[in-house]
Structure formats: C-alpha cells, structure tokens
Amino acid sequence: MFAAIDRRFGTWRGAVRLGLAYGEVAGGIACDLRPEPEAVRRLVFVCHGNICRSAYAEALARRAGMETASFGLSTTTGRPAWPGTAEVAARRGLSLDGHAATDMRDFRARPGDYLLAMETRHLRRLSALSGLAHLPRGLLGAYAGVPHLHDPFGLDPAYMETCLTRIEEAVRALCRAFPNAAAAAS
C-alpha cells in the first residue's frame, strides 16, 4: 500500500496535501487569482527550490514555443537543476543542462505574467508578497486535474515519473489556454 502511495503521490504527506488542495480549490480559499486569458504573455512557474518541478515546466513550455520564466520561493540563484530531475527529463528528450535557479528576490515580473505554483501553500506565499501579489496566479497541476504537485526531490523515482507526466499534461493545456503567451505573439 505505501509503495502505491509513494508512486502516485510522492509520500503520504503528498496524498494528504493533495486532498487538502482539492478542498481549498473547491472552497474558493486557494488564493488563486485568475487571469484574463488574452492578457497572459508569459507563463511563470513557481516552486520551492526551482530545481525540479518549475525547472522542468519552464523548459517544457519553452520547447513548446511559449514565453516562460521560473523562480523558487526559497533557493539560491544559479543552482542547476537537480540531477534526478535532469536525468528523467533527458530520458524524456528534454535537456535541463542550461537551467539556473532564480530566487524570488531576483525575479523581475512583467506585465502579462501568469504565476503557476505547484502547491496551494505557494499560492498563499505569492499572495502575500508585495511585488507579486497583484499578478494573476494559479496552480499548474489544476490544468491536469491535480491541484497539488508534490515535490519529487529525493523521493521514489516512480513518483518523479508521475510528477513530470502531470506537468507535461498541464503545460499542454496551458499552451492551448493561453495562446498569447506564445513567443511569436509576445
């Protein structure tokens, strides 16, 4: 039973946080701020360290021709992608070799940014940051039907596959939903 939880949710905490995220979203307390679709010019992916989930999402969206950026809420600018993520990404045909993490203090917002967090706690943090609170924000996983994308850092390799698959589904949906964020449109 625990192996199935680890594969699908990362950890039992990941499963609990997913359940709580469903409740927050359904209850309207997730701190999201929906954008006007035609106003979105850049997809900005946000997670804790900017070395796994947001790094992968940014590279994937960029490969799809979108204007992208990413940052971490608690990281060191310049850190490379985590080797575990980079290895799985490479097997999926996506290089994270050029990724350098950006700390939130070094991120520069632009008009048309849409912040896409991995967890509801990230949304709460973004809504409290004076320089970013005004920007539209949502949950990346919601675009794949899963509002919580638990951090795969150091977890079961099978969960890394699950997490990246969910990110791929979400990024495909974002590309369809926000065509003005395409590099040629910006």
For the chain, helix (H) and strand (E) counts, in that order, are: 6, 4
Closest to 104 measured CA to CA, from 149, 139, 54, 147: 54
Residue 94, burial from CB neighbour count under 10 angstroms (0-12, 13-18, 19+): middle
User: Cα(113)–Cα(33) distance, rounded to whole angstroms?
Assistant: 12
Three-class SS of residue 24?
helix
Active site amino acids: 47, 53, 151
**Which residue, among 43, 89, 94, 53, has the nearest Cα to 73 in the 3D structure?**
53
